[in-house]
Amino acid sequence: MDKVLKRHGRIDILVCAAGSCHSAGLGMLSDADWDDEIGTMLSGTFRCLRACLPVMIDRNWGRIISIASDIALLGSAEYPAYAAAKAGVVSLTRSAALTGARHNVTGNTISPGWVDTAMARAAIGALARTEQVEPQALLDALTRLMPRCRLVDPDEIASIVVHLCLDTSGAITMQDIAVDGGARWYMDRLEVAQ
């Protein structure tokens, strides 16, 4: 942050996009894995917000976008630390939005479903090992449950980030935007139907 301020004299946009994922249920999750995920995602977001928000407030303009997850609101038996950290990121970002609201500083979260990244592929692989199935078979089963029958492309997340950074997006704040191809809506209804 000091380097950015020295070079540019301001910080306009903060995107908190850290991720760490350990597949272990509550009974098997180690303290070290819990601390890693909470530290990386939730504490990391806190430290970035603490550093950048006052600078944005002083300039009377800023955009904060944090990447959360669809399981932040749903919870997860397989990834409880990830779900808890991302739920905290949603709440913390909304708190920053409230703090900056009168100073033209917005704060929003984006909650993707399964995004086609190396981390998601590794998580699917770990889950496949737990379930004793082939990773591709699990991926195929997951995507069949999704209305669009595919993982989210990282560029689809990036385009929402860019939109939220515009001057014309100043009225969009304290929102959690699902970018999952309708999977959250569909999977919620599928669980009710079963």
Q: Is 82 a catalytic residue?
A: yes
> By the 8 A CB rule, do 161 and 179 touch?
no
Measured distance CA(167)–CA(153) in Å, rounded: 25
Task: State the DSSP code for 148.
Answer: T
Strands (E), the chain: 13-16, 62-67, 105-112, 176-179
| Residues facing 62 on adjacent strands | 105
3-state secondary structure of 185: helix
Spacing of C-alpha 104 from chain mean position: 23
Q: Which of 52, 67, 82, 94 is catalytic?
A: 82
- Identify which of 67, 60, 68 has the alpha carbon closest to the alpha carbon of residue 100: 60
Q: What residues are annotated to the active site?
A: 82
